[in-house]
């Protein structure tokens, strides 16, 4: 049994009721606390909802015991961040969870500076006191973007960073098919990534000062090592819920063609935006007579491209069996997963996406692009990965995968157990102990 260490974690996003990075922060912090004494600095709320995270944590512990005595310290969004958020909301109409990324990350950096001042005072007070155990590890957990590593690496305490990444770029062949605006954004993002990795940047300093970095893709791992990382390990940025959300009706029938009148139920979940690329699935099915006769699609989510996608369907194939549900609650999404045959995730740029481990937790196989964390998460036993080469090759690849997918739900659940939050937290806890030795 490992010795319990005193650990300080920065998790800007942390909430027991929200998904994405909030789910990562919550699921890992609460599980790491089984092995070590955890203090976590987290944002009181998001830039658009400044008190949301603190309220969610407080409500959770009204009904649940803080069994491992985790110290939750909410750090409010600075005044300048809130002013930037107001401008961001006005300019973007809050078209996404962060609005205009440039403005969001400026505000986020100011929060990180506040968190660092608090962390520095906390570490100094503890490490200079003869009555308190010093901090053995500091860990920058969320946000996952490598472009904002925070400032904890400046402390004289072993620094752990991640899971993090985001260096991957889409093939040039995609630019011609995703629209001018989306192509311009991808080009700007590629330039910003290179700028962040320039010599002497805070990102480079964080890489070189780290005792351990968790990267969520092979591309990111290789780059961090080239830039001076001491130790870089692969770890997904999203985990599974123990793989115990079994289908209510037993194993799904994935062998052979569906029976007459029994269509294969395809589920798609996400924002209706360019990089999620729902149009790839629409064109894959609409362009094939066999799939038109054997597949029905349910789209969970909403976004600015919804009307465009409906126009595309009417233009290509009005008879396509497809329904749009809008956004659903997390429990409703899991219900959809338990009553589907395959999750199709067409995004051409993503980390891991929480929807993928959530699907695996339900025994639902996944078809996705062979990119970033998805390259690691999906194996032949739980799905099919389509190479990301060009737009038209992706359409053909998803079309072929929909015809070929053969996965037993028990095999999928086994993979989900391997990728559980519990296993991720245990690995992190073990690594803390090795670093502190």
Predicted local distance difference test score (pLDDT) of residue 354: 85
Q: Is residue 365 part of a domain?
A: yes
For residues 240 and 61, give the distance between their C-alpha atoms in angstroms, rounded to a whole number: 23
Q: Is the N-terminal amide bond of 143 cis, ω within 30° of 0?
A: yes
Condensed to tens digits (0 to 9), the pLDDT of residues 341-375 reads: 999 999 988 877 789 999 999 999 999 999 988 99
311 lies in the same domain as 400: yes
Number of domain units in the chain: 2
Domain of 371, in residue numbers: 264-418
Condensed to tens digits (0 to 9), the pLDDT of residues 166-206 reads: 888 788 777 777 778 778 888 888 888 888 888 778 999 99
Q: Is residue 1 part of a domain?
A: no
Q: Is residue 254 part of a domain?
A: no
Residue with the two structure tokens 């028990």: 410
For residues 391 and 219, give the distance between their C-alpha atoms in angstroms, rounded to a whole number: 21
> Which residues, other chains included, contact 373 with Cβ-Cβ below 8 Å and sequence gap of 6+?
165, 216, 217, 236, 237, 238, 350, 351, 352, 353
Whether pLDDT at 242 is above 70: no
Whether pLDDT at 221 is above 90: yes
Which residue, among 167, 347, 189, has the nearest Cα to 274 in the 3D structure? 347
97 lies in the same domain as 187: yes
DSSP state string for 260-282: TT--EEEEEES--SGGG-HHHHH
Name the DSSP class of 3. P
353 lies in the same domain as 429: no
Q: Which phi and psi (to 5°) does residue 199 adopt? A: -60, 135
Condensed to tens digits (0 to 9), the pLDDT of residues 94-143 reads: 556 788 888 999 999 999 999 999 999 999 987 776 667 889 999 999 98
Which residue, among 383, 108, 410, has the nearest Cα to 250 in the 3D structure? 410
CATH of the domain at 35: 3.40.50.2000
Predicted local distance difference test score (pLDDT) of residue 255: 42
Find the mean pLDDT for residues 55-67. Answer: 96
Q: Is residue 342 part of a domain?
A: yes
313 lies in the same domain as 226: no
Exposure string of 208-239, with b = 16+ CB inside 10 Å and e = fewer, is: ebbbbbbbbbebbbebbeebebeebebbbbbb
Predicted local distance difference test score (pLDDT) of residue 315: 94
425 lies in the same domain as 355: no
Q: Is residue 104 part of a domain?
A: yes
300 lies in the same domain as 399: yes
């Amino acid at each position: 049994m490992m010795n319990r260490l005193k650990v300080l974690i920065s998790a800007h996003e942390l909430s027991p009721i929200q998904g994405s990075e909030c789910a990562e922060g919550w699921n890992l912090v609460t599980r790491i606390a089984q092995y070590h004494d955890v203090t976590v600095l987290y944002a009181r709320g998001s830039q658009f909802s400044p008190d949301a995270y603190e309220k969610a944590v407080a409500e959770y512990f009204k009904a649940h015991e803080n069994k491992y005595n985790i110290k939750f310290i909410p750090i409010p969004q600075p005044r300048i961040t809130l002013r930037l958020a107001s401008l961001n909301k006005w300019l973007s109409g809050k078209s996404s969870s962060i609005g205009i990324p440039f403005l969001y990350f400026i505000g986020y950096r100011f929060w990180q500076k506040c968190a660092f001042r608090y962390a520095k005072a906390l570490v100094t007070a503890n490490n200079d006191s003869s009555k308190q155990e010093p901090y053995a590890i500091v860990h920058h957990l969320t946000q996952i973007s490598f472009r904002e590593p925070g400032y904890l690496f400046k402390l004289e305490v072993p620094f752990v960073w991640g899971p993090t990444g985001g260096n991957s770029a889409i093939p040039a062949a995609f630019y011609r098919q995703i629209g001018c605006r989306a192509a311009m954004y991808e080009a700007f993002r590629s330039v910003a990534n290179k700028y962040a990795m320039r010599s002497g940047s805070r990102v480079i300093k964080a890489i070189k000062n780290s005792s351990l970095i968790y990267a969520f893709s092979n591309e990111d791992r290789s780059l961090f090592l080239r830039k001076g990382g001491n130790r870089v390990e692969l770890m997904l940025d999203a985990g599974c819920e123990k793989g115990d959300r079994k289908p209510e009706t037993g194993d799904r029938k994935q062998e052979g063609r569906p029976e007459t009148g029994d269509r294969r139920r395809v589920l798609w979940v996400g924002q209706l935006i360019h990089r999620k690329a729902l149009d790839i699935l629409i064109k894959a099915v609409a362009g094939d007579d066999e799939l038109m006769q054997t597949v029905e699609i349910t789209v969970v989510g909403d976004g600015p491209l919804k009307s465009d996608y409906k126009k595309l369907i009417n233009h290509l194939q009005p008879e396509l069996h497809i329904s749009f549900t809008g956004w659903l609650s997390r429990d409703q999404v899991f219900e959809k997963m338990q009553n589907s045959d395959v999750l199709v995730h067409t995004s051409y740029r993503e980390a891991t996406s929480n929807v993928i481990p959530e699907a695996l937790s339900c025994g639902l196989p996944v078809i996705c692009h062979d990119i970033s964390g998805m390259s690691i998460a999906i194996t032949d036993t739980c799905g099919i990965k389509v190479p990301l080469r060009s737009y038209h090759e992706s359409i053909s690849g998803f079309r072929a995968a929909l015809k070929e997918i053969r996965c037993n739900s028990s095999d999928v659940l086994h993979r989900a157990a391997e990728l559980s939050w519990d296993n991720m937290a245990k690995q992190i806890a073990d690594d803390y102990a090795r670093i502190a030795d």
